[in-house]
Amino acid sequence: MTETREEAKLRPFLEAVAESRARMNPRGSRPDPSALLVALRSGPLEDLYLLSACFANLDLLPAGKGEVPDRILRALTDLSPGATEGARSDSLSRSRMSVDDLSLNELRDAADRSVTAAAAVESGVFRGLHGAEEGLTPSELAARLDADPRAVGILLPPLVRLGLLWQEGDRFALTEESRRTLGDPESPEYAGGGMGLWLHNLRAWTRLPDAVATGRPPEEIQSQASEDEDGRAAIARFMAGMAAAPAERVERTVDLVLERAGEPRTLLDVGGGPGHYARAFAERGLRATVLDRPEVIDFVREEYGLADDERIDTVGADFLENPLPGSFDIALVNNVTHMLSPEQSRVLLRKVRGSLEGDGLIVIGDFVRGRSERADWFALIMLLRTEGGNTYTEADYAAWLEETGFGEMEVVDVEPDRQLVMARTV
Ligand SMILES: C[S@@+](CC[C@H](N)C(=O)[O-])C[C@H]1O[C@@H](n2cnc3c(N)ncnc32)[C@H](O)[C@@H]1O
C-alpha cells in the first residue's frame, strides 16, 4: 500500500495504537498498522474515536465518543491538518463545551477511575481472577468473592476500559500487567497491599471542606474509624500501605545512605512500621532497631516476622513521650515528620540527636515542599488525618536540624518526588 506524505507521518501513531490495542488484549493478535491506515482512510471520524480510546486507555484519560482528548486532537492536527476538523466540531456539538473545558471532565473522570480501581482491589476482583487462566464470568467471580453478581457485572467493564482486565465474550481475565501488580500477591511487583489505605484516605478526602473550615481532622472521619473497626484492623491497613513501598525505592534509599555513612554498624529506625527499611539495612550487615508505638510493634513482630529476625531488635515506645534508646551510627526517620507539627518535629529531632553516636548521621525521608510536587498533595492527607501534620521545606528542615544539634545538611532525591534530608551530628 502506498502511503501519502501525511499518512507516513501518521504511521508512528498507528504503530503506537497497534501496541496499545495489543496490550489491552494480550491474547488477541497485534493489529496491523496498515490495516488501521485503511480503516482511517475509509472512516476518519470513527477511527479518531478509536485512536482516542486507545490512547485514553493507555493514559487513563477520558475515552469514547464525544470526548476526543484535547492533546490527541492537537497531535493529530499537527500531523494531518484537516483530518480532525470533523471530529472537533462533532465532539464539541455532542458535549456542548469548549475544548478547554475538557480538562474539567478529565479531572472528574480521573477521580472516577482512581476510586473505581482502588475499590475493585478492595473488593478482591484482581485476587479473585488470579489463576483463572480462561477468565471468569461475572457470576463465577461473584461466587468466588461472595459478592452480588449484578454489581460485579457492572464493575468489570469499566476495569476493561482502564486496561486492567481484558474481556472475551462474557468472560473477564487479568492482563499480564494486572496479574503482576494487582492479582498475584507473590509477585515482586505486587502493589495491591497499598490500595486499602488509598481508599481509606479517599473517604477522608471527601470531608476536606470540614477540615478546611476547622483546621482539624473531620470528626466524622475520626468517629467512623473508631466505630467501624478495632485498632488491629487499622494497624493492619496502615502497615500494609507502608509495606507496599517498592523494593527499588527501599534499596535506593539504603544505597544513598550508605554512600555517605562511612562504616556504620547500627541503625535506629524511628517510627519504623513494618520494618522493611530496617531489614534492607540488616541485609547490608547493620544491626537494626525498629522503634514504633507498642501496639504497632506487637503487630509487626508477629505479622511481618520481626520477632524471628535475629538481626533486628524492636522497641515499643512513643517517640514524643518516651526516651529513645542509644547509641546508634544512623537514625532513619522515614515518612514520619509529615505526621508531626513543626513543634513536635523539633522535639523528635532533639531526641534523635541524643540517640546518635558522636559522628552520627540522621536521615529524614519525606516529601520536601518546593522540591516534590507530591508534597503539596500529601499535606492534604495530613490535614485530614492528623492534628498538626504537614509537609515541610528545605528551609524548615535546615532550621530544625541546626537548632537540635546537626550540621552539614544535604538533600537528595530518592525519586523526583521523594527526598532524603541527611545531616551529621555536631
Ligand atoms: C507513615 S509510617 C512510616 C513507617 C516506615 N518508617 C516507612 O517509611 O515505611 C509512620 C510510623 O510512625 C509511627 N508513629 C507515629 N507516631 C508515633 C509516636 N508518637 N511514637 C512512635 N511511633 C509513632 C506509626 O505507628 C507508623 O508506623
pLDDT given for residue 349 in this prediction: 98
Q: Counting atoms of ligand 1 from 1, which one is nearest the CA of 296?
A: 25
Protein residue with its CA nearest to atom 1 in ligand 1: 335
Q: Counting atoms of ligand 1 from 1, which one is nearest the CA of 336?
A: 10
The CA distances from residue 16 to 12, 43, 231, in Å, are 6, 19, 48
**CA-to-CA distance for 210 and 212, rounded, in angstroms?**
5
Alpha carbon of 296 to ligand 1 centroid (Å): 9
Does residue 407 register a pLDDT over 60? yes
pLDDT given for residue 10 in this prediction: 59
In a 3-state reduction of DSSP, which class is residue 215? coil
Q: Counting atoms of ligand 1 from 1, which one is nearest the CA of 333?
A: 6
CA-nearest of 350, 348, 337 to 388 is 337
**Residues 349 and 320: beta-carbon distance below 8 Å:** no
Tens digits of residue pLDDT in 113-155: 888 998 999 899 999 999 998 999 999 999 999 999 999 999 9
Protein residue with its CA nearest to atom 24 in ligand 1: 271
pLDDT given for residue 285 in this prediction: 97
Whether the bond between 327 and the residue before it is cis, its omega within 30 degrees of 0, is: yes
Ligand 1 pocket check: which of 322, 339, 362 to mutate, most ligand atoms within 8 Å of Cβ? 339
103-112, 128-137, 183-192, 226-235: range with highest mean pLDDT: 128-137
**Residues 204 and 385: beta-carbon distance below 8 Å:** yes
Tens digits of residue pLDDT in 212-255: 999 999 876 665 555 455 678 889 888 888 888 888 899 999 99
Alpha carbon of 235 to ligand 1 centroid (Å): 11
Alpha carbon of 274 to ligand 1 centroid (Å): 9
Q: Counting atoms of ligand 1 from 1, which one is nearest the CA of 239?
A: 27
Cβ neighbours for 243, distance < 8 A, ≥ 6 positions apart: 193, 273, 274, 276, 304
Alpha carbon of 35 to ligand 1 centroid (Å): 56
pLDDT given for residue 203 in this prediction: 79
Phi, psi angle pair for 99, to nearest 5°:
-60, -35
Question: What does the buried/exposed string (b/e) look like for 328-354 if buried means 16 or more CB atoms within 10 Å of the residue's CB?
Answer: bbbbbbbbbbbbbeeebbbbbbebbbb
What pTM does this model have?
A: 0.70
Protein residue with its CA nearest to atom 27 in ligand 1: 273
**CA-to-CA distance for 313 and 300, rounded, in angstroms?**
12
Tens digits of residue pLDDT in 26-79: 555 555 666 555 555 444 434 444 554 444 444 433 334 344 445 445 544 444
pLDDT given for residue 223 in this prediction: 54
Q: Counting atoms of ligand 1 from 1, which one is nearest the CA of 243?
A: 9
Protein residue with its CA nearest to atom 11 in ligand 1: 271
**CA-to-CA distance for 44 and 50, rounded, in angstroms?**
10
Q: Percent of the chain at pLDDT above 90?
A: 54
Assign 197 a pLDDT band (cuts: 50, 70, 90).
Answer: confident
**CA-to-CA distance for 22 and 37, rounded, in angstroms?**
16
Task: Please identify which residue in the block is written with the cell numbers 518516651.
Answer: 322
- The mean per-residue pLDDT over the stretch 77-83 comes to 41
Query: pLDDT: is 102 or 269 the higher one?
Result: 269
pLDDT averaged over every residue in the chain: 82
Protein residue with its CA nearest to atom 15 in ligand 1: 271
Does residue 414 register a pLDDT over 50? yes
**Residues 243 and 235: beta-carbon distance below 8 Å:** no
Cα angle for residues 224, 226, 228 (degrees, 5° grid): 60
The CA-to-CA distance between both ends of the chain, in Å, stands at: 74
Alpha carbon of 106 to ligand 1 centroid (Å): 35
pLDDT given for residue 330 in this prediction: 98
Assign 12 a pLDDT band (cuts: 50, 70, 90).
Answer: low
- The mean per-residue pLDDT over the stretch 287-308 comes to 96
